Structure 1
Amino acid sequence: MSLRLPRLALILARHAHSGTLPPPPQLFKLENASDSATARAWIDKFKAQEIPKSLVEFTFSRSSGPGGQNVNKVNTKATLRCPLNSSWIPPWARDYIKKTPSYVSSAQCIQITSTVYRSQAQNVQDCLTKLCSLVVDAASASIVNEASEEQKERVRRHQRAEKAKRKIDKAKRSEVKRGRKGSWE
């Protein structure tokens, strides 16, 4: 009985570490500053968690290419598949994910592979890391950052300068046309 207790504690500790992923806010587009702030807060919470293996599907196969006999004997290549409409993937990030090479349109899922390591467990972890990075990048892509007052003032100065330049060019062109009228009489 004492043998089971440490093992159970190890399992519970592992699940406590991975936790559950925070549910994303139901925003289909980030249209204003408050939506962007909500999205940023969710991203910060999401980055602090690990994606549990139970939310994705893994398949394993033999890696290809050079590497000796180990490549031909051991299924170390990890392939991760995750439906795009999973509840933990934010709705505003889905269009971005559809444009990435990781998206499989025929299955409407995200597919990520890893053959970097000789260990299956390390390749699984690499796939999960890549998936987390993909979701964070997709969620961050449509966030609109508010411009600082310094940046806004710089834009206003450029607009005033452009308006003045345009006015000078217009006056110059008008003068050229007025000079063509001349008195023909």
Structure 2
Amino acid sequence: MKLFQPRTCAKFLQVFLARNAHSGSHRPIPLPPRLSTLESVQETASAREWISQFRALDIPKAAVQLSFSRSSGPGGQNVNKVNTKATLRCPIDEDWIPLWAKPELKRSPYYVSSSQAIQIVSTVHRSQSQNIDECLSKLHALLIEASSSAIKNEPSEAQKKRVEDLMRAASAKRRAEKSHRSSIKTGRKRPPD
């Protein structure tokens, strides 16, 4: 029996997702770097690179679990006859979801702790396909926001210099105020008898 190596499985997943992509995008979802936290500059740079690649792609339908039901509320007889409500479920332990984004995803209102998945529902449109696209775009935006929130931006040299100058000026101002108050208090003292 031949076992699959991790790289082979990852490549298979990318090919599978590429073939089953929606809305004309046939590029696979890039697998994120296996980083649980972003501590070094190199880790942050690789996370930014993954986010920029992911931002340009759509999430394929095959990468998530979709279910459909009848919508509630106003809408005439179409509401009672057609399953237009789309419910998307995506387990957060999928390979294409970054490890560093998982704590932020768990704080999301879309997170369901009993199934450890993201659940997004759309009933905005009268069409099932439009509701599917709405759910997928919400998931895409949520993943970009969650993965970007862990990235700390380093200040530029100009910003660092400006902060140092402001701290130096504040310290000088504080010292000047203290010496001024000290001279006022000294002037109040009586001369010794």
The TM-score range, normalised by the shorter chain, is 0.7 to 0.9
Give the deviation of 1:13 after TM superposition: 7.0
Using the TM superposition, name which of 13-22 and 127-136 deviates more: 13-22
- C-alpha change, 1:61 and 1:22, in structure 2 (3 Å) is same
Q: Give the TM-score, by structure 2 length.
A: 0.80
Partner Cα distance (1:96, 1:175) in 2: 55
Partner of 1:160: 168
Deviations, residues 70-98 of structure 1 (Å, cap 9, x unaligned)? 01111101010111121111111111111
- In structure 2, list runs of 5 or more residues that go unmatched: 1-17
- Percent of paired sites with the same residue: 53
**AA matched with 2:127:** S
**AA matched with 1:110:** I
Q: Does 1:62 align with 2:70?
A: yes
- In structure 1, list runs of 5 or more residues that go unmatched: 1-11
Partner of 1:3: none
- C-alpha change, 1:26 and 1:182, in structure 2 (3 Å) is farther
Partner Cα distance (2:33, 2:155) in 1: 24
Deviations, residues 107-151 of structure 1 (Å, cap 9, x unaligned)? 211011111111111111111111111101111112122222332
Partner residue of 2:25 out of 17, 22, 31: 17
Please report the RMSD computed on the Cα atoms of aligned residues, expressed in angstroms.
Answer: 2.2
Partner Cα distance (2:185, 2:116) in 1: 62
1:61–1:77: 8 Å Cα contact kept in structure 2?
A: yes
- 4+ long deviations beyond 4 Å: 12-16, 176-185
Structure of higher RCO (CA pairs closer than 8 Å, 6+ residues apart) = 1
Give the deviation of 1:18 after TM superposition: 3.2
Partner residue of 1:130 out of 132, 138, 163: 138
1:22–1:46: 8 Å Cα contact kept in structure 2?
A: yes
Q: Give the TM-score, by structure 1 length.
A: 0.83
**AA matched with 1:93:** A
How many residue pairs end up in the alignment? 174
Structure 2 residue matching 1:80: 3-state secondary structure: strand
Q: How does 1:1-185 map to 2 (within 5 A)?
A: 15=21, 17-175=25-183, 178=186, 182-183=190-191, 185=193
Deviations, residues 36-65 of structure 1 (Å, cap 9, x unaligned)? 211110011112222122221111111111
Structure 1 residue matching 2:25: 3-state secondary structure: helix
